[in-house]
Amino acid sequence: MTDREAQLKALMLRGLDGDALAWRHLLSDLGAHLRPYFRRRLFNGGADAEDLVQETLIAIHAKRATWDRNQTFTAWAFAIARHKLVDHLRRQGRRPTHPLEEASVLFADHTVEDGATRADLSRCLALLPARQRRLIEDVRLGGLTVAEAAERHGYTLTAAKVSIHRSLKSLNARFAPASVDGGEDED
């Protein structure tokens, strides 16, 4: 059992036994894990992510009596969060296309480096024209298929594929270290 699992499970058990402070602490900790989890999976980030955090915390609160004390807590909480995300995407007319993760994704440590990486990525993508940048963000970061992103941004499927390829090639040429032998890679 991981330290995080042990900590959250202990808070859940104390909360179920009537410890209101432990319950508040558990919901606060869960919210801190849920926000980045939802933001990474949504197209508009913040607004819907916060709504999903609240919906998930309410569901955990409402369904707390269904949790089996002999089972892992994080897997149970993750299942609720994932169902809330899927329900949200269905309401928007989207279907998740990524493979299902394990609960560890939700409760993975998030570091300062994660934020720095996102900031670096934003600065790199800002070098692209807005239309190309949005296409890359939707396909490579947002999880849309190329066809979905092409339709969303007014590209043909072929034009979207070419734009993505050229944009990534341009960024790679700008930021990739120079090759040792000085030769260029072929497509």
Helices (H), 40-184: 46-62, 73-91, 103-106, 112-125, 130-136, 146-153, 157-175
Average pLDDT, integer, range 158-168: 90
Name the packing angle between helices 3-16 and 20-39 (round to 10°).
130
Give dist(CA 109, CA 13) in Å, integer.
22
Delineate the domains of the chain, giving CATH numbers in brackets: 3-106 (1.10.1740.10), 112-175 (1.10.10.10)
What one-letter code names the amino acid at 99? P
Token pair in block for residue 10 = 């202990």
Helix or strand run (H / E) with residue 117: helix 112-125
In which band, very low, low, confident or very high, does the pLDDT at 57 lie, cut at 50, 70 and 90?
Answer: very high
Is the separation of the CB atoms in 51 and 35 below 8 Å? Answer: no
Q: Which of 108, 92, 75 is nearest to 143 (CA)?
A: 92
| pLDDT exceeds 70 at position 185 | no
Higher local confidence (pLDDT), 147 or 142 = 147
User: Per the confidence metrics, is the pTM higher than 0.85?
Assistant: no
pLDDT at 37 over 90: no
Distances 125 to 6, 136, 140, 174, 175 between C-alpha atoms, Å: 40, 8, 11, 12, 11
Residue 1 three-state SS: coil
Answer yes or no: are the C-beta atoms of 77 and 8 closer than 8 Å. yes
Question: For residue range 93-115, what is the model confidence (pLDDT) as tens digits?
Answer: 765 555 445 545 555 555 444 55
Q: CB 167: neighbour CB atoms within 10 A?
A: 20
DSSP state of 64: G
pLDDT at 115: 54
Distances, alpha carbon 88 to alpha carbons 18, 31, 47, 50, in Å: 32, 17, 13, 12
